[in-house]
């Protein structure tokens, strides 16, 4: 982990929180009027962090790619060492990532610029393309989040200005919300799966909606101190319950209290931090935040978490040093027999 005096880390008073760096030296490219590096993140079935790069400059052209990083702090990106899966077509771009059960999904657009949900293998290769018919060309998916409570995905799009609920099995989708005037970007769902929260990038609003009715439940105008725009979102649990953390485009991290609707600055950008983007909750309850050339890890106090930390069993055999996760399902009704059986023969550790 980086030391507390590391000038790559944000500044602020965090009490029992701690910042560290998962990886730095990450590639970036010009995107609109700014430099953009990594965006979406998700854990694969080998416990590695999959990271999307919508635009990366190569000697020949600008491409999109997915990098596979070990889930350990202190890395410096080396394209010759770290496994990278390049998108097989020039314009198959993926922005957000989400994991639903044991399946990884990416949101973006296909070769022709149409909104597409991508089913991905653990190495980042594309298994299946699910085009969302009915959306206009170049109205691609941006933010993506999984709701394990109803087995649906929720997405924001470039110009649709609504939150989509997607059934990944069929590719059918529906609008959860009424149209917004702003560009909706970062997205997350509440722990109970009943509410969805989005970052209105255009107007710097955090908006919340009841999933069942589509009714607005939160509208908070946030002003990051360094002039950033709101983007990636995550909600705390335990002692952090009802605290919505926001990754902003000038490197700020803001906190919105979902009960009082007040907001505050958690930390401000380090030198050369660049653009903040999406967020991922790691299995240990820490929070990964992308910036232009690095991915930060925010570890919460022991009494809090950014996600459920007891939903996974990790096993290994004596031949390897890597851990393979087995996701546990959620029991939704009373059972009198075994909830599940795990065959651990031949496994130690």
With a CB cutoff of 8 Å and minimum separation 6, the contacts of 118 are 92, 94, 105, 106, 107, 108, 126, 127, 128, 129, 130
Q: What is the pLDDT of residue 242?
A: 94
Residue matched to tokens 């149409």: 114
Give the dihedral of Cα atoms 16, 17, 22, 26; nearest 10 deg. -140
Q: What is the pLDDT of residue 85?
A: 65
CB 50 within 8 A of CB 124: yes
d(C-alpha 204, C-alpha 217), whole Å: 17
Q: What is the pLDDT of residue 21?
A: 92
Residues of the chain with pLDDT under 50: 1-5, 88-89, 309-318, 320, 322-332, 334-339, 344-349
Residue matched to tokens 């799966």: 193
d(C-alpha 246, C-alpha 235), whole Å: 9
d(C-alpha 183, C-alpha 203), whole Å: 8
C-alpha dist (Å) from residue 108 to 7, 80, 133, 197, 290: 34, 26, 13, 19, 18
d(C-alpha 306, C-alpha 264), whole Å: 18
Look up residue 53 and give its two tokens: 């790069």
- What's the pTM? 0.84
d(C-alpha 184, C-alpha 189), whole Å: 14
C-alpha dist (Å) from residue 59 to 55, 67, 78, 152, 348: 13, 18, 16, 39, 47
d(C-alpha 341, C-alpha 140), whole Å: 41
Which of 129, 132, 122 has its CA nearest to residue 91? Answer: 129
d(C-alpha 315, C-alpha 302), whole Å: 24
pLDDT digits (tens, 9 = 90+) for 121-140: 999 988 999 999 888 888 88
14-19: list long-range contacts, CB under 8 Å, 24+ apart. Answer: 14/266, 14/267, 15/301, 16/300, 16/301, 16/302, 17/298, 17/299, 17/300, 17/301, 18/298, 18/299, 19/267, 19/296, 19/297, 19/298, 19/299
Distance from the Cα of residue 248 to its chain's centroid: 14
d(C-alpha 59, C-alpha 140), whole Å: 27
Which of 283, 316, 201 has its CA nearest to residue 249? Answer: 201
d(C-alpha 260, C-alpha 24), whole Å: 36
Q: What is the pLDDT of residue 348?
A: 41
Residues in the chain: 349
Query: CB 86: neighbour CB atoms within 10 A?
Result: 16
Q: Indicate the SS3 state at residue 44.
A: coil
Sheet holding 141-147, edge to edge: 141-147, 152-157, 164-166, 173-175
């Amino acid at each position: 982990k980086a030391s507390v005096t590391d000038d790559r880390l944000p500044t602020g008073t965090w009490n029992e929180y701690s910042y560290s760096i998962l990886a730095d030296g990450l590639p970036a490219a010009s995107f609109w009027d700014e430099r953009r590096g990594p965006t979406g993140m998700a854990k694969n079935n080998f416990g590695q962090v999959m990271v999307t790069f919508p635009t990366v400059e190569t000697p020949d052209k600008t491409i999109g790619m997915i990098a596979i990083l070990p889930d350990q702090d202190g890395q410096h990106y080396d394209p010759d060492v770290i496994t990278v899966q390049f998108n097989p077509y020039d314009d198959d771009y993926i922005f957000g990532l989400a994991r639903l059960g044991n399946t990884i999904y990416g949101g973006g657009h296909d070769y022709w610029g149409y909104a597409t949900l991508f089913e991905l293998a653990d190495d980042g290769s594309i298994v299946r393309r699910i085009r969302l018919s009915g959306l206009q060309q170049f109205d691609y998916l941006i933010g993506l989040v999984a709701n394990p409570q109803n087995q649906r995905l929720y997405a924001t799009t470039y110009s649709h200005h609504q939150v989509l609920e997607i059934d990944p099995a069929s590719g059918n989708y529906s609008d959860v919300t009424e149209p917004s005037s702003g560009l909706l970007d970062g997205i997350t769902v509440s722990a109970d799966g009943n509410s969805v929260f989005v970052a209105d990038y255009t107007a710097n609003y955090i908006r919340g909606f009841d999933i069942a009715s589509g009714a607005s439940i939160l509208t908070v105008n946030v002003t990051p101190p360094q002039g950033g725009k709101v983007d990636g979102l995550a909600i705390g649990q335990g002692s952090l319950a009802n605290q919505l953390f926001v990754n902003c485009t000038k490197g700020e991290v803001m906190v919105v209290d979902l009960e009082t609707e007040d907001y505050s600055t958690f930390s401000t950008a380090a030198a050369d931090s660049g653009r903040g983007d999406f967020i991922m909750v790691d299995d240990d309850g820490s929070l990964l935040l992308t910036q232009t050339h690095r991915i930060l890890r925010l570890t919460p106090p022991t009494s809090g978490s950014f996600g459920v930390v007891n939903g996974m069993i990790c096993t290994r055999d004596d031949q390897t040093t890597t851990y393979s996760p087995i996701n546990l399902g959620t029991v939704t009704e009373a059972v009198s027999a075994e909830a599940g059986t795990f065959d651990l023969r031949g496994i130690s550790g």
